Structure 1
């Protein structure tokens, strides 16, 4: 491997890319560049604003010093953590790994100690926000080669109710399983504790891959109770943004599968540390990624290197991708295309994908203003989406 000259950062650009993504491009004064993804669904403008401080601090900084940059970006502004600041840092971090890998002509995973696997099992979404037409959607995913899917368990649920409300959930799971698929079920934080325990219990005999966010992660004590109640693996983590956020869930035994989002939780650098923490507790990793191609490419760098990554979410054809889909902004879509239900580990330099820069710049002229819907219960009160 050749010696790497100083790579002084000369420009940091951001692009609002539809349907709901935020791409980051870092360029050195000598013209080397790297791409990352700082998407925070529904809050792209806030993350975009956070890049003003990043530019002030890191224009002129040596891009080779990824860990030094991470520590300054995280600790140096006094206030730290949270969805907005960590998403900005995440996209910046990904772009630095991409830049350094490209400068050296090696994948990012090579710089982290080499790969432990050749491919990673992938799953796709079916059913939408208010799940429907599950049988047909499951058959379509099976035809694409997937062996696993995830779907939302329910639309909104009231705080209390009777188990009759769960009959449709069970039927939907069984419809997907009848197509020959393994199923992960996302509660999406929509179910409150009085009903979450009941729903987790009635689902237990179905043999799910996992139940995701059976309660919001702001309720670690309730999650620990549910973990003790059922044998189904408990998954969570998309709304946790650092190793410090994950720590209490490991200590309480409240989680079996963590789902850090590499565009929210500090990028490749921090998510590699989170995965290592999880390994010490014998917890699996399934990176959260209903986002764009750069986020997925970053996840695959982690999948290459972390031994406890078990499965990878991808957004191909997800119901949020209205007007633009996962592979539209890359010139080498085969890198992110599943084969027999698995995604290959990228072999190209950096993140291993090539962005169609001209197309990104063109669509970013219009950008997007994506917002999640607001739901209400039958009595008119706010319902979790």
Structure 2
């Protein structure tokens, strides 16, 4: 079997999502995805990677993974090179599963879990739906037009939101109420009033539902170290499950100092690329929960190595998802196959909303758990209507 063509797809509406089809002479097509800077990633795929991939055996996944990243500029990042390789790699695993007639989680080693607990990242329906990916800018507060405007919910009605999640069996939620203050003060300090505003959702959730729901605090790498530690001291009273990305992920020693200063677990980080970057953070005891985005850090091939390395340090693994539907499903396959998975990220505004506009299937989600995808490969395809979109931009490289 040979790779005969690579096609990329992007749209104006979902401007940061890039989808990839890897086509073969056996008639099997693999589906991949990445997120952020879609046009630049597509250019790298067609201008640099295609010549290395066309005519190759798609089942030589490890070899092709190394071939895509054996570049002088692809050095442990989540830049264009890693995002491009991630999308292709996910598509290669999809081909492998389709050829075998088995789901990708089986190809990765089989089920470690019968079902997987979910947490809800409380994003709104239009969060990350445009090419504006900045804190606060995409919040659309006060413009709720559907049942899952959960970002508006945690800022303006957090107790009601927590009760809504619990009614669905969802027992964990991630929120980021300190982001407005980080934007206002450029992450350098926080005022007493801003601290109180950021603490308010935690106070209301705990007062209303007690400890029935876990709360994660997302900090989006927006703070300097002293201010992040100040926020952590105040929030710790409410017993969050973890603090995520409190500072920029470019200094493992600084994150280790943060981790030592709080009894709450530190989670890091979808912004790290490749297992080599994670090793430095693990060696310095800088993170307790290892989070990886398979669309950014090297795909399923690199993701399972990151999860295995985390396990060797007795650290749990968590797949990131606040991007597109294929990345979400790839993360679910990874989560089911890894014995040290702690929980699976999800966004109900996405998997019950715009994901369904783009792909044919979603895994079964009920009672706060996701169940193993059942179809061969990833178990989903782009919708037929997707290819008829007026804002679709397609590019192809072929033998």
Residue 62, structure 1, aligned to residue 91, structure 2: no
Secondary structure in 2 matching 1:283: coil
Q: CA offsets, 1:303-345, max 9 Å, x none?
A: 1111111111123315xx9x96123222233x2x421111111
Compared CA separation, residues 364 and 275, structure 1 to 2 (3 A): farther
Aligned-pair distance for 1:287? Answer: 1.1
Aligned match of 2:388: 362
Residue of structure 2 aligned with 1:156, choices 181, 188, 192: 181
Asked if 1:309 corresponds to 2:373, the answer is: no
Task: Let me know the Cα RMSD of the aligned residues.
Answer: 2.1
- 2-structure distance, mates of 1:283, 1:153: 27
Matched, 1:344 2:376: no
Deviation (angstroms), 1:242:
0.4
Displacement after TM superposition at 1:284 (Å): 1.2
Aligned counterpart in structure 1 of residue 155 of structure 2, from 120, 125, 132: 132
152-161 or 30-39, which moves further after superposition?
152-161
| Residues 108, 334 of structure 2: 8 Å contact kept | no
**What is the deviation of 1:286?**
1.3
Q: 1:171 aligns with which of 200, 203, 223?
A: 200
Q: Residue 45 and residue 51 in structure 1: after superposition, are their counterparts in 2 closer, same or farther (change >3 A)?
A: same
> Which consecutive unaligned segments of at least 5 residues does structure 2 have?
125-134, 137-153, 395-399
Q: So what's the TM-score if we normalise by structure 1?
A: 0.86
Of 31, 37, 40, 1:46 maps to 40
Work out the CA distance in 2 between the residues paired with 1:240 and 1:293: 21
- Mapped to 2, the partners of 1:283 and 1:48 lie a distance apart of 34
Please state if 1:16 is matched with 2:10: yes
Offset, 1:139: 3.1
Taking the aligned partners of 2:107 and 2:392, their CA distance within structure 1 comes to 36
Residues 163 and 198 in structure 1, CA contact (< 8 A), matched pair in contact too: no
Structure 2 counterpart of 1:116, from 112, 115, 134:
112
- Deviation, 1:197, is 1.0
Instruction: Note the 1:1-385 alignment, pairs <5 A.
Output: 7-17=1-11, 18-19=13-14, 20-40=16-36, 43-52=37-46, 53-75=48-70, 77-81=71-75, 82=77, 83-126=79-122, 129-130=135-136, 132-133=155-156, 134-154=158-178, 155-157=180-182, 158=185, 159-177=188-206, 178-179=208-209, 180-317=212-349, 325-333=354-362, 335=363, 337-356=364-383, 358-363=384-389, 365-366=391-392
Taking the aligned partners of 1:160 and 1:354, their CA distance within structure 2 comes to 46
| Number of residue pairs matched by the alignment | 353
Question: Who is 2:128 aligned against?
Answer: none
Q: What stretches of structure 1 of length at least 5 have no aligned partner?
A: 1-6, 369-385
